[in-house]
């Protein structure tokens, strides 16, 4: 991550990303084989597609392979920008969704005071991306998402329900560090960052790989509050 920002809190973050990009570089296209069905992402993306004006700008944070989210949003005629820490994921996303723009970036580069300014967005998606951050950073990342959104902009978030912080787990033949919350605590953190939760759904998901455990997935549909 780049430099400190003018906002208290953001300047104190010095995240350790060691191994996270490398893990997703190694996983590459196998990610979509292990998670072939992404019903939660599909349903949340349909909510956005049905709620946004034509041509709206949408940011897909931690876009992975671009499937299905960036592709569906681009096919719907939105201006889609995807960001991912992993070079391999960005390459796959570019090949899968030529109509969108993708950047290899740490999402922290988009925080206030960070090195990149991609402008404001009508909506942001972060499907299983904030789980890759240490817990101490997640409220700041959510606040940063709020600042990337126009007032009353939409935010579709998914997390795995788990009471863990920066915890190493086996994942598709490699190891990643993940964080999470139990449901009520997640909602508190999201609301505390300035979002109204307008919908939520919970799914049990069994990945198609023996070394990747079944998980409880939480999908939140949020709106940035006008006053921040």
Ligand X SMILES: C[S@@+](CC[C@H](N)C(=O)[O-])C[C@H]1O[C@@H](n2cnc3c(N)ncnc32)[C@H](O)[C@@H]1O
**Interface with ligand X (CB under 6 A):** 17, 20, 24, 41, 62-64, 83-86, 89, 106-107, 127-129, 132
| Contact predicate 187/196, CB 8 Å | no
Nearer to ligand X, 68 or 194 (CB): 68
Least Cβ distance, residue 84 to ligand X (angstroms): 5
Nearer to ligand X, 78 or 128 (CB): 128
How many Å apart are CA 211 and CA 165, to the nearest integer? 20
Main-chain dihedrals φ then ψ at residue 128, nearest 5 degrees: 60, 35
Least Cβ distance, residue 226 to ligand X (angstroms): 28
**What value, to the nearest 5°, has the Cα angle with vertex 167 and ends 38 and 5?**
90
**Which residues are CB-contacts of 212 (< 8 A; sequence separation ≥ 6)?**
34, 170, 171, 172
Nearer to ligand X, 103 or 183 (CB): 103
Least Cβ distance, residue 30 to ligand X (angstroms): 12
Nearer to ligand X, 47 or 225 (CB): 47
CB atoms within 10 A of CB 181: 22
Least Cβ distance, residue 185 to ligand X (angstroms): 20
**What value, to the nearest 5°, has the Cα angle with vertex 137 and ends 33 and 71?**
35
């Amino acid at each position: 991550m780049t430099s400190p920002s003018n906002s208290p809190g953001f300047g104190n973050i010095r995240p350790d990303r060691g191994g996270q990009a490398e893990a997703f570089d190694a996983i590459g296209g196998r990610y979509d084989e292990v998670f072939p069905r992404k019903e939660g992402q599909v349903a949340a993306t349909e909510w956005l597609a049905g709620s946004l004006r034509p041509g709206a700008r949408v940011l897909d944070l931690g876009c992975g392979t671009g499937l299905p989210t960036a592709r569906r949003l681009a096919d719907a005629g939105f201006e889609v920008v995807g960001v991912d820490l992993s070079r391999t994921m960005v390459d796959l996303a570019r090949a899968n969704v030529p109509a969108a723009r993708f950047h290899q970036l740490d999402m922290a580069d988009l925080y206030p005071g960070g090195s990149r300014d991609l402008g404001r967005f009508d909506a942001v998606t972060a499907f299983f991306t904030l789980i890759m951050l240490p817990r101490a950073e997640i409220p700041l990342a959510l606040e940063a998402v709020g600042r990337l959104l126009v007032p009353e902009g939409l935010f579709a978030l998914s997390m795995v329900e788990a009471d863990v912080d920066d915890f190493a787990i086996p994942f598709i033949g490699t190891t990643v560090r993940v964080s999470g919350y139990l449901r009520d605590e997640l909602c508190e953190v999201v609301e505390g960052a300035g979002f109204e939760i307008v919908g939520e759904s919970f799914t049990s998901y069994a990945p198609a790989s023996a070394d990747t455990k079944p998980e409880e997935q939480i999908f939140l549909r949020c709106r940035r509050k006008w006053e921040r």
